[in-house]
Amino acid sequence: MGISALFGSFVGGSDPASATGYADHPPRVGFFTDTSVCIGCKACEVACKEWNHVPEDGLNFTGMSFDNTLGLSADSWRHVAFIEPPRQASALSVSEQPGRRDRDVSRNIKAGSELRWLMSSDVCKHCTHAACLDVCPTGALFRTEFGTVVVQEDVCNGCGYCVPACPYGVIDQRKDDGRVWKCTLCYDRLGDGMEPACAKACPTASIQFGPLDELRDRASLRLEQLQAGGDTEARLYGHDPNDGVGGDGAFFLLLGAPEVYGLPPDPVVTTSDLPAMWGRAALAAAGLLAGVAAMFVGAHR
* Band of pLDDT at residue 112, cut at 50, 70 and 90: very low
* Band of pLDDT at residue 9, cut at 50, 70 and 90: very low
What is the rounded distance in angstroms from the CA atom of residue 266 to the CA atom of residue 245? 9
Q: Please, are residues 114 and 88 in contact by the beta-carbon 8 Å criterion?
A: yes
For 136-181, write each residue's pLDDT tens digit.
999 999 999 999 999 999 999 999 999 999 999 999 999 888 999 9
Domain-wise residue ranges, the chain: 3-270, 275-301
The yes-or-no verdict on residue 107 having pLDDT over 50 is no
CATH 3.30.70.20 given to domain 3-270? yes
Q: CB-based burial of residue 188 (10 Å sphere; 0-12 exposed, 13-18 middle, 19+ buried)?
A: exposed
What is the rounded distance in angstroms from the CA atom of residue 50 to the CA atom of residue 198? 10
The yes-or-no verdict on residue 228 having pLDDT over 70 is yes
Which pLDDT belongs to residue 88? 44
In degrees and rounded to multiples of 5, residue 269 shows phi and psi of: -70, 125
For 234-284, write each residue's pLDDT tens digit.
999 999 999 999 999 999 999 999 999 999 999 999 887 655 544 555 566
The yes-or-no verdict on residue 95 having pLDDT over 70 is no
For 28-48, write each residue's pLDDT tens digit.
999 999 999 999 999 999 999
Which pLDDT belongs to residue 233? 93
Which pLDDT belongs to residue 37? 97
The yes-or-no verdict on residue 213 having pLDDT over 90 is yes
Global confidence as pTM: 0.79
For 40-94, write each residue's pLDDT tens digit.
999 999 999 999 999 988 677 766 667 778 899 999 999 999 887 654 443 434 3
The yes-or-no verdict on residue 199 having pLDDT over 60 is yes
